[in-house]
Amino acid sequence: MTDAKPTDYSALISKAEKAVAAKAGGDRRDPTAGPGRRRQVLVAALAGVTVFALAWVSSQLAPPGKGAVARDLDKAVELARNAVDDARKTTGELPATLPNAALASVVSYEPTGTQYRLAATIMGVRVTLEPNGSKTVDMGVQE
């Protein structure tokens, strides 16, 4: 009895598949290359999706810019102006406090005689409506 060495049949099978494909005029690619390439494409796609997801999450967690804060404060001041003007139309005089309690937590209201001043400050941005009707936006103010 002789010592039989284990034979690597995968190389022989691969060689036979290449020979059959060459005779048949079919696909001449290495038949073992497919799954590895698919794996590379899958890994690259997953990496791309992961990078996109992380970028999206970080953008959602970032604080809003000063421009966005200024626009939001401007809307709050306008809503407060409408509430004060509606109250004045109803009673004939300025209300003692801002009629909308939700806005009062963000907008300060200072009545003086027949006029009033509104101001809102958040994150270093202040929007002010002066008694003469002019509106100013200040960036970088101390709260």
What average pLDDT does the segment 101-116 reach? 91
8 occurs within a structural domain: no
Number of domains present in the structure of the chain: 2
Which pLDDT value is given to residue 58? 80
pLDDT top residue among 108 and 5: 108
Q: Which of helix, strand or coil describes residue 32?
A: coil
Count of residues for the chain?
143
- Residue 142: what are its φ and ψ, rounded to 5°? -85, 135
Residues 116 and 98 in one domain: yes
pLDDT at 28 over 90: no
Tell how far CA 111 is from the center of its chain.
39
Domain that holds residue 122: 66-139
| CA dist., res. 119 & res. 127, Å (int) | 6
pLDDT at 4 over 60: no
Residues 43 and 108 in one domain: no
Residues 54 and 89 in one domain: no
Question: Is the model's pTM score more than 0.85?
Answer: no
Contact 21, 33 (CB under 8 A): no
15 occurs within a structural domain: no
Question: Is 73 buried (19+), middle (13-18) or exposed (0-12) by CB count in 10 A?
Answer: buried
pLDDT tens for 43-73 read 888 888 888 888 888 877 877 788 889 999 9
99 occurs within a structural domain: yes
